[in-house]
Amino acid sequence: MGRLLIALDPGVQVSPGELAAAWDADEQARALGPAAVEAPARGVFLPDVLTLVAIPLGVNLASTAITAMVGRLVARLRNTRPDPPEVEVAEMASADGDRVVVVRLRGGRP
């Protein structure tokens, strides 16, 4: 089925480890697969991303469901930060069939 890879812009103020732990603690998210932090493969097109959160997907989910779930978890983690900047969550497919969700500052670089 492929994997879900979540790339976090460092400016979002949520670490991959925090998001992976939040994913695994959330019953709905955990049902899709366990989260693990890993380094991106060589040649990954996302500058400034040193680590990813990877989830092996056993089911096919709509793009809106995935981005909503990731957005909900990131928002929950960011609520503990003082005055966090706005973020946007976007999904795309990689050439090898993985689904990539990018969480970045709103208005940030593509």
Residue 52 or residue 6, greater confidence: 6
Closest CA to 33 of 2, 68, 9: 2
Three-state secondary structure call for residue 6: strand
Handedness of CA 100, 101, 103, 106 (dihedral sign): positive
| Alpha carbon distance 73, 108 (integer Å) | 20
Q: Is the pTM of this model over 0.85?
A: no
Is 40 among the domain residues?
yes
Is 110 among the domain residues?
no
Is 97 among the domain residues?
yes
Is 50 among the domain residues?
yes
CB 105 within 8 A of CB 10: no
Domain that includes residue 43, residue range: 3-105
> What is the percentage of the chain residues whose pLDDT exceeds 70?
79
State yes or no: pLDDT of 89 exceeds 70.
yes
| Tens-digit pLDDT profile for residues 40-70 | 666 555 555 556 788 887 666 777 888 888 9
State yes or no: pLDDT of 110 exceeds 50.
no
pLDDT at 49: 57
Is 83 among the domain residues?
yes
- Number of domains, the chain: 1
CB 91 within 8 A of CB 3: no
Three-state secondary structure call for residue 77: helix
Is 57 among the domain residues?
yes
